[in-house]
Amino acid sequence: MADARAESIVRLESIARACRVQIIRMLTHAGSGHPGGSLSVIDLLTTIVFGRLRHDPKRPDWPERDRIVLSKGHAVPALYAVLARAGYFPEDRLITLRKLGSPLQGHPDRTALPGIEAATGSLGQGLSISLGLALGFRLRGATSRVYCILGDGETQEGQVWEAAMSGPKLGQPDHPLDNLTVICDYNKIQLDDFVAKILDLEPLVAKWQGFGWPVLEIDGHDVGQIGKALDAAEATRGVPTFIVAHTVKGKGVSFMENNPEWHGKAPKPAEAITAIREILGVTEAGWEQHLAGDAATRAIVEELRALERK
């Protein structure tokens, strides 16, 4: 059992690493977008989709599927990377991000791309959508679960707090929303600056507990911790669960980490290549040798070098 869990963790970490590379790749092609929050949320999305979610990429409209609502919609490159990896569409399509006519828009569009469950460009709305989904499943006796991911800056929105107050009460006593797990990607940075400088959320845990939510705190980059928290949420009866996932904005790229500048700025091709090297954990001295033995990464790097020459 321990060996199986360890193998699962290694597999999820490998998928998340590959998705980080694709995030950098697609944002560089787009020339705009949100790398910081995409890199902070990718371990959460990877663990949910590849370690938890009941879904079928061949039947994206399967009625009994679980749902992910990425309320922080600007981080959708992370969700696109995960969906492509899961088989919803070819990974080659990722470089059409934000292009005219592409289903991979800068914010998720439920009507344009299978696998997207809610249009969440306007911050603050995803939790309300998730409550409605969860309540609907309970009322019709479905076993589907809902996973809602909030941004920390987004949580300053008043609609989030109205929904937070309602969540543990909706459906009671016969149809409680214990099929809902809400996760805050708490990377501590929003568009303008650090969250604490704009409108501090603390004491975040005590506030949600005060509304009747059981609250768990985890390292949002530790897939083992994420998995255990999801286990605990699934085992909870009578109320939905709130998870505070402490993360690092721009995780995996040294010059992006914990830097508000990279909230909404795409890397240049040379920056992207450096970012990919760091994500893969390769030294500058060993980079060319690594590329010689890694055809997939070499193709992406050559693609980015061609962009730089344009």
Q: pLDDT of 247-300, one tens digit each?
A: 999 999 999 999 999 999 999 999 999 999 999 999 999 999 999 999 999 999
The domain that holds 224 is classified in CATH as: 3.40.50.970
CB-count exposure of residue 59 (10 Å: 0-12, 13-18, 19+): exposed
Q: Strand runs (DSSP E) across 115-188, as ranges?
A: 146-151, 180-186
Low-confidence stretches of the chain (pLDDT beneath 50)? none
Bridge partners (DSSP) listed for residue 150: 184
Tell me the torsion sign for CA atoms 8, 10, 16, 21: negative
Predicted local distance difference test score (pLDDT) of residue 29: 97
Predicted local distance difference test score (pLDDT) of residue 6: 84
Name, in order, each residue with C-beta under 8 angstroms of 123's C-beta and a sequence gap of 6 or more. 71, 72, 73, 151, 153, 154, 157
Predicted local distance difference test score (pLDDT) of residue 75: 98
Compute and round to an integer the Cα radius of gyration of the chain. Answer: 19
Judge whether 101 lies within some domain. Answer: yes
Judge whether 7 lies within some domain. Answer: no
d(CA 44, CA 50): 10
Judge whether 199 lies within some domain. Answer: yes
pTM tops 0.85, yes or no? yes
Judge whether 298 lies within some domain. Answer: no
Structural domain for 68, as ranges: 35-264
Q: Are 43 and 220 in contact (CB under 8 A)?
A: yes
* Residue 18, SS3 per DSSP: helix
Q: How many domains does the chain have?
A: 1
Q: What are the angstrom distances between the C-alpha of 245 and each of 222, 293, 294?
A: 10, 36, 33
Question: What single-letter amino acid sits at 103?
Answer: P
Judge whether 244 lies within some domain. Answer: yes
- Of 35, 46, 54, which is closest to residue 8 (Cα–Cα)? 46
Judge whether 3 lies within some domain. Answer: no
Judge whether 201 lies within some domain. Answer: yes
Judge whether 292 lies within some domain. Answer: no
